Amino acid sequence: MLSRRCPPEQSDTPVTTPADAASEQEPERHPDQERAFEPSPGPAFEPAPEPHGARPGARRRPGGRTARIRRQVLDAVLAELGEHGYDGLTTDAVAARAGVHRTTVYRRWGDVGGLLADVLDAAGDDDWQPPDTGSLEGDLRALNEEIQTALTAQPPVVAALIAASFRSEKAAHAQRRLWEDRYARCEIVVTRAVRRGELPPHTEALPLLIAATAPLYHELLLLRTPPDPRLPGRAARAAALAAAAGAFPGAAAADAT
Amino acid sequence: MLSRRCPPEQSDTPVTTPADAASEQEPERHPDQERAFEPSPGPAFEPAPEPHGARPGARRRPGGRTARIRRQVLDAVLAELGEHGYDGLTTDAVAARAGVHRTTVYRRWGDVGGLLADVLDAAGDDDWQPPDTGSLEGDLRALNEEIQTALTAQPPVVAALIAASFRSEKAAHAQRRLWEDRYARCEIVVTRAVRRGELPPHTEALPLLIAATAPLYHELLLLRTPPDPRLPGRAARAAALAAAAGAFPGAAAADAT
């Protein structure tokens, strides 16, 4: 799921003007868009609708140099982060690795926080959908497997990105946007389970999804417990059992009690 | 639960020798030792059996200057962390705030990571016990209330400490030791519930406790969701329902299936 294609190709080393940086976009989608709950960019990077620092009214052109530069720069951020962590991350190192001029990076992303925020925004710019296995527990387990894979990947890019988001308000907001988007996409898992009769009507999706996934982040990121192959299934099963027993009644049902 | 007594008293500004730093300990316990799952030091600071940098065979004397300096320095770490976060934390700033010589801090704790690790070790050096409310759900809810209080306190010392532990291997290990100790102490909550017949025999305590508490850390620390007064109870109830339904069968029971 996480690309190992680091560092990015160095074949193109353009230097842009500010107008370049603001005026081009790349619309095509890449095939490998299976993403979990976290930033997992790589060769499939896609531009966000409005890159940081872009002029609001700027004309858009599909594809081109700006999108290519963005991909190179954001791939370089991930490679630097995976190798050196946040403390090794500088706009200069990113520019050098991406093969672009340092003023381009500075002008377009501002600082390391801006770079991290754009990595996270770009990671959310895909068409990832949660797994559909036919059962709530199966869907949650498959989701957790994706999360465990991402959090234990080497180099530890996703873990480093989450850790880095503690260091920058911009990155923290982008990290939160990405998670909110992922949880919103996962609501269909709960809707389907209600429709199948596995869950009480009005089951609230978000707390259920957090209950199912939080133990993964807690053990792998906070407690740094070695990965346990039983963890994704166990957390999924616990959340599914709790939900079936009515642990997440939702606002309407809760008000009625 | 978290002391607001920051900055610490400045009445004592001794300069120690290395021999001082290694030879004195303070044995008396302070009364306000109700602590949650996290570092919550303050006026009740107590020395760990062996401070960082202490010589293994050093003679111990109860109380005294070294213990007082340690308390001042660790209180200063917390105050700096609460005000400025990790990025404002330097051994010099801590020394100045604690009113001790900078070489004392440098010699005894080495660096910021050593200071953070000692804060976390000291936080675990209490006689905190989990709540005993008479029911599993009640115990877990009370525990979660403590966690929510700690994670949302102002200044955000606990959140800053956890974030800082991503920056230093020493602090990360100490954070993990503290959590492991807290979870171990909480196993009695599960034992009591099994004894009361609320849970199946052989219910595994640790995954149950993580399921109950992880949503708090996830929402308040990672997602940065505004505190929800229903969160502690909801996470407790979900974990209790899942556990009662057999979600945490333990190794023996799981092997038998």
Q: How far is B14 from chain A (nearest CA, A)?
A: 35
| B174: pLDDT strictly greater than 80 | yes
Interface check for B194 against chain A (CB to CB < 8 A): the answer is: no
pLDDT value of position A233 = 98
The CA-atom distances, in angstroms, between A243 and each of A158, B205, B244 are 29, 20, 13
**Is residue B51 assigned to a domain?**
yes
Judgement on whether residues B98 and B157 belong to the same structural domain of the protein:
no
CA distance A139 to A131: 6
Query: Measuring CA to CA, which residue among A23, A15, A231 is closest to residue A106?
Result: A15
B138: which residues sit within 8 A by CB, 6+ positions away? Answer: B131, B236
Q: How far is A237 from chain B (nearest CA, A)?
A: 6
CA distance A24 to A67: 7
pLDDT value of position A250 = 80
Query: Which of B217, B238, B248 is opposite residue A218, by nearest beta carbon?
Result: B217
| A138: pLDDT strictly greater than 70 | yes
Mark which residues 201-240 of A lie under 8 Å from B by CB.
Answer: 207, 210-211, 213-215, 217-219, 221-224, 234-235, 237-239
| B70: pLDDT strictly greater than 90 | yes
| A57: pLDDT strictly greater than 60 | no
The CB density around residue A92, as the number of other CB atoms within 10 Å, is 10
What CATH number does residue A172 fall under? 1.10.357.10
Q: Which residue of B has its CA nearest to A216?
A: B214
Q: What are the backbone angles phi and psi of residue B61, rounded to the nearest 5°?
A: -120, 140
pLDDT value of position B220 = 95
What letter represents residue A73's amino acid? V
A85 or B251, higher pLDDT: A85
Interface check for A174 against chain B (CB to CB < 8 A): the answer is: no
A14 or B101, higher pLDDT: B101
For residue A210, the chain B residues in CB contact (below 8 A) are 215, 218-219, 223
- Taking only the tens place, the pLDDT of each residue in A103-112 is 999 999 999 9
DSSP A78-121: HHHHHHH-GGG--HHHHHHHHTS-HHHHHHHH-SHHHHHHHHHH
Which residues constitute the domain of residue A158? 136-250
**Is residue A8 assigned to a domain?**
no
Cross-chain residue pair A234–B166, CB shorter than 8 Å: no
Which SS3 state, helix, strand or coil, does residue B123 take?
helix
Handedness of CA B32, B36, B37, B41 (dihedral sign): negative
The CA-atom distances, in angstroms, between A15 and each of A98, A140, A218 are 11, 45, 42
Judgement on whether residues B117 and B144 belong to the same structural domain of the protein:
no
Judgement on whether residues B97 and B153 belong to the same structural domain of the protein:
no
For residue A246, the chain B residues in CB contact (below 8 A) are 241
Which run of H or of E encompasses A151?
A: helix A136-151
Q: Which residue of B has its CA nearest to A174?
A: B223
Cross-chain residue pair B241–A246, CB shorter than 8 Å: yes
| A90 burial type by CB count under 10 A (0-12 exposed, 13-18 middle, 19+ buried) | middle
Q: Which residue of B has its CA nearest to A241?
A: B242
Confidence of residue A178 (pLDDT cuts 50, 70, 90): very high
For residue B243, the chain A residues in CB contact (below 8 A) are 238
Residue A221: HSE in the Cβ half-sphere, 13 Å Cα cutoff: 29
Among the candidates B123, B152, B167, a domain finishes at B123
Which SS3 state, helix, strand or coil, does residue A161 take?
helix
Interface check for B184 against chain A (CB to CB < 8 A): the answer is: no
- Taking only the tens place, the pLDDT of each residue in B151-163 is 999 988 888 889 8
Instruction: Give the number of A-B residue pairs with CB atoms closer than 8 Å.
Output: 102
Interface check for B188 against chain A (CB to CB < 8 A): the answer is: no
Number of domains in chain B: 2
pLDDT value of position A196 = 97
| A158: pLDDT strictly greater than 60 | yes
**Is residue B236 assigned to a domain?**
yes
Q: Are B233 and B141 in contact (CB under 8 A)?
A: yes
Interface check for A161 against chain B (CB to CB < 8 A): the answer is: no
Mean pLDDT over A156-176 rounds to 89
Interface check for A84 against chain B (CB to CB < 8 A): the answer is: no
pLDDT value of position B40 = 52
- Taking only the tens place, the pLDDT of each residue in A5-46 is 333 333 343 444 344 444 444 333 344 434 556 555 443 333
B59 or B163, higher pLDDT: B163
pLDDT value of position B168 = 87
For residue B242, the chain A residues in CB contact (below 8 A) are 237-239, 241-242, 245, 247
CA distance B158 to B224: 14
Query: Which of B218, B237, B241 is opposite residue A241, by nearest beta carbon?
Result: B241
Q: Are B75 and B41 in contact (CB under 8 A)?
A: yes
Judgement on whether residues B159 and B114 belong to the same structural domain of the protein:
no
CA distance B230 to B167: 32
**Is residue A6 assigned to a domain?**
no
**Is residue A172 assigned to a domain?**
yes
| B235: pLDDT strictly greater than 90 | yes
Interface check for B252 against chain A (CB to CB < 8 A): the answer is: no
| A201 burial type by CB count under 10 A (0-12 exposed, 13-18 middle, 19+ buried) | exposed
Confidence of residue B9 (pLDDT cuts 50, 70, 90): very low
Query: Measuring CA to CA, which residue among A100, A113, A142, A136 is closest to residue A240?
Result: A136
CA distance A127 to A216: 23
| B32: pLDDT strictly greater than 70 | no
pLDDT value of position A38 = 58
Query: Which of A223, A245, A248 is opposite residue B245, by nearest beta carbon?
Result: A245
Tokens for B73? 């320095």
Query: Which of B210, B235, B245 is opposite residue A241, by nearest beta carbon?
Result: B245
Q: How far is B206 from chain A (nearest CA, A)?
A: 11
Q: How far is B245 from chain A (nearest CA, A)?
A: 7
| A189: pLDDT strictly greater than 70 | yes
Query: Which of B172, B234, B241 is opposite residue A207, by nearest beta carbon?
Result: B234
Cross-chain residue pair A245–B241, CB shorter than 8 Å: yes
Interface residue of A136, A141, A166, A217 to substitute, partner B, most B CBs within 10 Å:
A166
Mean pLDDT over B183-197 rounds to 97
Judgement on whether residues B24 and B98 belong to the same structural domain of the protein:
yes
Among A36-40, A115-119, B226-230, where is mean pLDDT lowest? A36-40
pLDDT value of position A166 = 85
**Is residue B114 assigned to a domain?**
yes
Share of chain B above pLDDT 90, in %: 61
Q: Which residue of B has its CA nearest to A159?
A: B166
Mean pLDDT over B199-206 rounds to 96
Among the candidates A58, A89, A123, a domain finishes at A123
Judgement on whether residues A147 and A84 belong to the same structural domain of the protein:
no
Cross-chain residue pair A224–B172, CB shorter than 8 Å: yes
Q: How far is A242 from chain B (nearest CA, A)?
A: 5
ipTM of the complex: 0.77
CA distance B139 to B134: 7
pLDDT value of position A211 = 98
B190 or B45, higher pLDDT: B190
The pLDDT mean for chain B works out to 80
CA distance A163 to A155: 14
Judgement on whether residues B76 and B141 belong to the same structural domain of the protein:
no
**Is residue B12 assigned to a domain?**
no
Per-residue buried b or exposed e for B35-73, using 16+ beta carbons within 10 Å of the residue's own CB: bbbbbbbbebbbbbeebbebeeebebeeeebbbbbbbbb
| A107 burial type by CB count under 10 A (0-12 exposed, 13-18 middle, 19+ buried) | middle
- List, in sequence order, the alpha helices (H) in chain B: 18-23, 65-84, 91-98, 102-109, 112-123, 136-151, 157-164, 169-195, 205-217, 231-244, 250-256
Confidence of residue B38 (pLDDT cuts 50, 70, 90): low
B213 or B156, higher pLDDT: B213
Mark which residues 4-33 of B lie under 8 Å from A by CB.
Answer: none
pLDDT value of position B218 = 96
**Is residue A53 assigned to a domain?**
yes
Mean pLDDT over B113-122 rounds to 94
The CB density around residue B145, as the number of other CB atoms within 10 Å, is 19
Judgement on whether residues A63 and A145 belong to the same structural domain of the protein:
no
CA B205 to chain CA centroid, Å, is 20
Judgement on whether residues A160 and A111 belong to the same structural domain of the protein:
no
Confidence of residue A91 (pLDDT cuts 50, 70, 90): very high
Among the candidates A123, A152, A174, a domain finishes at A123
pLDDT value of position B27 = 38
The pLDDT mean for chain A works out to 80
Judgement on whether residues B45 and B93 belong to the same structural domain of the protein:
yes
What CATH number does residue B119 fall under? 1.10.10.60
Judgement on whether residues B105 and B180 belong to the same structural domain of the protein:
no
Judgement on whether residues A191 and A160 belong to the same structural domain of the protein:
yes
Interface residue of A158, A213, A222, A230 to substitute, partner B, most B CBs within 10 Å:
A222
pLDDT value of position B45 = 37
